[in-house]
Structure 1
Amino acid sequence: MYRKIVCEKLSTNFRECTRIMTAPLPKVRTSRRTRRAPCEQSHHVLGCSPQALNSGSILVKNEWCGINASDINFTNGKYMPGVKPPFDCGFEAMGKVAKVGENVTKLKEGDSVVYTSFGAFSEYQEIDARAAVSLPKIMPEALPLFVSGLTASIALEQVGEIKKDEIVLVTAAAGGTGSFAVQLAKQAGCHVIGTCSSDEKVEALKALGCDRPVNYKKEDLFQVLRSEYSDGVNVVYESVGASFFDIALNNLAKKGWSQEGGEKKPSTPITAKLLGKSASIRGFFLNDYTREWKPHMAKLLQMTQEGKLKSLVDQQACKQFNGLESIPDAIEYMYEGKNIGKVLVKL
């Protein structure tokens, strides 16, 4: 048996809408005629006989999992409208191969792998072997590259269409995804402004190459943008919402764009503001860009190996959060803005 976190009702309160459940570990197929038990979906396996491991799959014993702002968007149904509980939670994990399907040739038991898949908040998970990236050893710093790194890389290139010498504003810049966005925008030759909530984070952003860190608890972001960037910003990587979204929208340069993130209605209709600047708001969801995953991951891994990209991991979180029981605490820790870099939980 193994344990996993399952969402039982739609809610933004991760702690209240989820619980830890147990399920039987899958068995390796003994012949090609072996078929799965009738209860194929992972959130339906309780009380069923063990499933057979798919011939092209591997079973991973997870050692680390990543925390994302998307974890709450997933449990409240925002990312998958119409989804009905129960369903498994979590998006990314790293661990060692525990079992190998009969047609898997490139991986073996004991290999270290990292992957992204629904249901990663689990002690074990079956995944398609093709989705796993092999590692020489368990490397927590490689885990943020998947969801956070891919999101920043693809969004800036495909949606933001950033160009050299543009001014890019990144909100939540010291977080897991924001820290990648800052570095990638700098690599593209842009001038980068990054928002954060403490002097410690300001120093972390400077170390990443951020040109103008803004501690919004000490400085007025709107006034900083109006006084220091009077012509506006070209691209805004916006992942906070509320007032940050409005500030970003009001400070867009002509033909600029902002990633959608806010709910608050400005006094002037958004359409009028966009029309007056020939600007745009563009949404981004990582799962809509699966064809871009492999080339962008290859680029991120190469940049990391060459020392051109730093995977920023929150060291305090690594020490503080252990086991599935600590995942709700880790999510709250991130939403309280305490993290510098990616929040990881050791399983």
Structure 2
Amino acid sequence: MHPKTYKKLVAKQFSADFQSAIAIEAVPLPSPTADQILIRNKFAGINAGFDTLICRGKIPYVDLTPPFDLGVEAVGEVVAIGAAVQDFTVGDAVATTVRGGGYREYQVIPAQLAVKVAEAIPEILTLMPTGISALVALEQAGEMQTQETVLVTAAAGGTGHIAVQLAKLAGNHVIGTCGSAEKAQLLQELGCDRIVNYRQENLNAVLEQEYPNSINLVFDCVGGSVFDTCLEHLAVRGRLVSIGFISEYASVPQVVSQPRIYHKLFWKAASVRAFLMPHYAEHMGSARDRLLDLFYSQKISVAINPTPFHGIESIPLAVQYLLKGQNVGKVVVQFY
């Protein structure tokens, strides 16, 4: 027997402060229409950067007016199906990446938006969409080759630790940055060739002393001064792919006064490229299938942050936890 109501997290207003933007609502549990399925979410992935920016109204490709639903990726169990649904049955484990479908106990969506998975485990949340972004950013935006030197910033995070493994599988030398001994231990276990704990070493000094031939490909999740350092050390025809800038998510953009960027790029024919998954949507399906195959065949592993977060009420804490860089691996919230 299903409950009559369930809880979800909504943005009730735009605000620079995530906590003051949100509210928890109890709403009636819907029944699926003919082509829909009703899913009981078991785990949801935390995307603190996206969460804070969307609550400020700062996601350019999303035009929303509060109130609106929050959260994206989730894994759960199909608990009801519409009369016309043929590809799912009650009890199937599914993954979804529907905006507004993550931070809620139940969701009802068109069946074609769900992906059947072997088991509703939190590891899937690291692969979809986080891992998909890592793979497509490296291969499409970054044009990753083999026998290159690849630098991954925030390398022990949800996206970074997948990027490290994909770069290693492609036959590259991988440098990973992190900020704690626990994160460095994870990167060592994943086969990272050079780990730079920025609380103990200076990234610029390490690159100057140990990498005279510079960096072929940078996968940058941090932005700020880390971005500037990586830019300085791009090799001839090097590529810096910006997939985020967590250093500025919790603050207003930093004003920078320095020579224009082409002075750093032109003489090396280097380039800076930004990556945003919606603009590479045609690659999502094949990337998802490849990642699931790599995971099920144990060619890549997934790190789930060990700190537990339970229930809708814990989501603001999880967002702040991630923004502070306390996580080792993907941060998830468990609903049941």
Q: 1:331 maps to what in 2? A: 319
Confirm or deny that 1:7 pairs with 2:11: yes
Q: 2:287 maps to what in 1? A: 296
Residues 61-100 of structure 1: pairs in structure 2 closer than 5 A? 61-68=40-47, 69-81=49-61, 82-100=63-81
Instruction: Choose from 22, 26, 46 the match for 1:22.
Output: 26
Q: 1:43 maps to what in 2? A: none
Q: Helix, strand or coil: the match of 2:159?
A: helix
Q: 1:229 maps to what in 2? A: 211
Separation (CA, whole Å) in 2 of partners of 1:331 and 1:107? 32
Q: 2:170 maps to what in 1? A: 188
Unmatched 5+ stretches in structure 1: 28-52
Residues 106-145 of structure 1: pairs in structure 2 closer than 5 A? 106-119=87-100, 120-145=102-127
Question: More relative contact order in 1 or in 2 (CA 8 Å, sep 6+)?
Answer: 2
Moved more, 144-153 or 130-139: 130-139
Q: Helix, strand or coil: the match of 1:6?
A: strand
Q: Helix, strand or coil: the match of 1:176?
A: coil
Separation (CA, whole Å) in 2 of partners of 1:211 and 1:342? 22
- The alpha carbon displacement at 1:231 in A equals 2.0
Confirm or deny that 1:217 pairs with 2:208: no
Distance 1:123 1:182, change over 3 A: same
- The alpha carbon displacement at 1:12 in A equals 4.1
Separation (CA, whole Å) in 1 of partners of 2:195 and 2:23? 39
Separation (CA, whole Å) in 1 of partners of 2:162 and 2:215? 19
Q: 2:248 maps to what in 1? A: none
Distance 1:220 1:91, change over 3 A: same
- The alpha carbon displacement at 1:135 in A equals 2.7
Instruction: Choose from 247, 256, 264 the match for 1:273.
Output: 264
Moved more, 188-197 or 64-73: 64-73
Unmatched 5+ stretches in structure 2: 246-252
TM-score by length of 1: 0.88
Separation (CA, whole Å) in 2 of partners of 1:19 and 1:323? 14
- The alpha carbon displacement at 1:165 in A equals 0.9
Separation (CA, whole Å) in 2 of partners of 1:76 and 1:165? 42
Q: Deviations over 1:89-123 (max 9, x none)?
A: 11101111122122111111222111111111011
Identity across the alignment (%): 42
Quick check: 1:74–1:80 contact (8 Å CA) kept in 2? Answer: no
Q: Over aligned residues, Cα RMSD in angstroms?
A: 1.5
Number of aligned positions between the proteins:
319
Residues 161-200 of structure 1: pairs in structure 2 closer than 5 A? 161-200=143-182
Moved more, 12-21 or 197-206: 12-21
Following superposition, which runs of at least 4 residues in structure 1 exceed 6 angstroms of deviation? Answer: none
